[in-house]
Amino acid sequence: MSFLRASSPHAHAANNTTKVMQTVLLATLPGLLALTVFFGPGSIINILLALIFCLAGEALVLRLRKRPLGFYLRDYSAAVTAVLLGLALPPYCPWWVVMVASVSAIIIAKQLYGGMGYNPFNPAMVGYVVVLISFPLQMSQWPSPASLLESLPSISASISQVFTGQGLDAYTSATALDIVKQNNSQLISQVYADSDLLRSGSLAGAGWEWVNLGFLMGGLYLLYKKVFTWHAPVAMLASLSLFALLGYDSGSSQSGGSLSLHLFSGATMLGAFFIITDPVSSAVSNKGRLIFGAAVGALVYLIRVLGNYPDAVAFAVLLMNFAAPFIDYYTVPRSYGHAKPRKATEKQEP
């Protein structure tokens, strides 16, 4: 009898892409929980809408490309994109904003480049930036945390807000980063004293600090599960901290904001553990990931403090996505038996 002919290795570790993606989804739960507790059901609605649009978009393109739907949808990569997008978008934003973001993310940023594994840019961040630039009004309406509202928005009111634009009254307020940025030449301590949001928080504004702590928790879980290495997140947080410390100048009106503000507000932790760790669009070697993460951290700080946008993770990540292949060329690790690393662009003598 003839036996199966297969190439070694014949053994395979019990991991697969689907499991990796499921783990990532699981790890977003603490952050989502914090978002829901402090800002109401808006983020859940976002995620559900994004899931629908993303999976539908993925299925559409897969059908056009004549690929087996089940095999590709089951890898959960579209779901991860949808969830990250839903988390990143402001709660209660109109449904069509979510739709545009989802379509941009899945169809343009992912499938048009060849689908999973071939996208040079992080799809969720592309979707986010598209709507951020296209619909600045809708994208700047962040809800106030529950502690500053009389009550959390009800589910029915939330749904009608998302689909009709009516249902919630005066639910929005400036985010912590907005407030510090628009400080009207006040000292940081004055800004904190004037702002309910900042005053009621202990790290970086009510609600936001908990959301970031939630994502930090999820990120640590992923590190523990060895879904990614520590290099990129640690490098990003370290460089962001360094810049924040250098730019704080103990709270003048020109100050860039405190360390805790930068680490625990906005999308810092979401970015550090869920966005820049996207393996497809970041650098491949550990050294490359250190460089990648550090550069993202620096860009986040610079754009936050000097740029027009109060939060900068999406722009910083996309900018560094451009640079990732370049970083890869110059961070090829030293191989066994070689005195030093070879250049990735080295050519053989003809």
Partner 1 sequence: MSQLIYPLRGGVHPPENKQQSLQSPLRRLAIPGELVFPLAQHIGAPAKAVVEIGDRVLAGQMIAEPNGPFSAAIHASTSGTVSAIEARPIPHASGLWGDCIVVAADGKDESIDFVGCENPFKIDHESLIEKIRHAGIAGMGGAGFPSAVKLNPPPNNNIDTLIINGTECEPYITADDVLMQERSEDIIRGCTLLAHILNGPDRILIGVEDNKPKAIAALEQSLLKLAAEDLPGIDRVQVVSFPTKYPSGGEKQLIQILTGKEVPSGGLPAHIGIVVQNVGTTVAIWEAIKHGKPLIERITTVVGESLKEQGNAIVKLGSPSQFVLEQFGFQEKSCARLIAGGPMMGFSLPDSRAPIVKTSNCLLVPSHQEMPDPAPAQACIRCGHCAEACPAGLLPQQLYWYAQAKEHDRLLAHNLMDCIECGACSFVCPSSIPLVQYYRASKGEIRQAEIEKEKSDRSRQRFEFRQKRIERAEAEKEAKRLARKKAAEAAKAKAAANAGAAKTAPAADPVAAAMARVQAQQSDPAEQLAKLERAVNNARNRLNSAEEKWQQAEGDQKAKLESRFKQAQLRLQDAESKLHDFKQQSAGQNPAPSNPTSASPTTPLNIDSDDPIERAKAKAQQRLSMSPLEKAENNLSSLNDRLKKAQEKASEADDDKRAAMEAAVEKLKQKKTSLEKEIDELKAQAPLKENTATAETPVDPNSIDDPIERAKAKAMQRLNMSPAEKLQNSLQALQTRLAKAEEKAASADEDRRPAMQAAVEKLQEKIKTVEQEITEFKAQEEPAKPAESANESSGIPLDAASAAIEKAKAKAAAQAQMSDSEKHAAQVESLQQRIQKAQQRLDKATEEGNDNVDAFRLGLEKLQAKLKELESE
Q: What are the residues binding partner 1 (CB under 8 A)?
A: 1-13, 15-17, 19-20, 71, 75, 77, 115-118, 227-229, 279-280, 282, 284-286, 289, 328, 332-338, 342-348
Q: For residues 35 and 82, which CB has a smaller minimum distance to partner 1 in the complex? A: 82
Q: Which residues of 130-166 are buried (b: 16+ CB within 10 A; e: fewer)?
A: bbbeebeebbbebbbbbeebeebbeeebbbebbeeee
Q: Write down the least CB distance from residue 125 to partner 1, Å.
A: 16
Residue nearer to partner 1 on the CB measure, 71 or 224: 71
Phi, psi of 229, deg, nearest 5: -90, 170
Cα–Cα distances (Å) from 157 to 47, 130, 139, 238, in that order, read: 17, 27, 19, 41
Nearer residue to partner 1 within complex by CB, 19 or 199: 19
Using the minimum distance from each CB to partner 1, give the nearer residue, 167 or 225.
Answer: 225
Pick between residue 155 and residue 329 the one whose CB is nearest to partner 1.
329
Minimum distance of partner 1 from residue 292's CB (angstroms): 12
Whichever of 228 and 315 has its CB closer to partner 1, that residue is: 228
CB of residue 17 to partner 1, shortest distance in Å: 5
CB 228 within 8 A of CB 221: no
| Distance of alpha carbon 227 from alpha carbon 263, whole angstroms | 22
In Å, the largest CA–CA distance within the chain is 85
**What does DSSP assign to residue 172?**
B
Smallest distance, partner 1 to C-beta of residue 162, A = 32
Could you tell me the sign of the dihedral formed by the alpha carbons of 65, 80, 223, 292, in that order? positive
* CB 241, min distance to partner 1, A: 25
What are the two backbone dihedrals, phi and then psi, of residue 222, each rounded to the nearest 5 degrees?
Answer: -65, -35
Shortest distance (Å) from residue 114 CB to partner 1:
8
Q: Please report the DSSP string for 137-150 in residue order.
A: HHHT-PBPPGGGSS
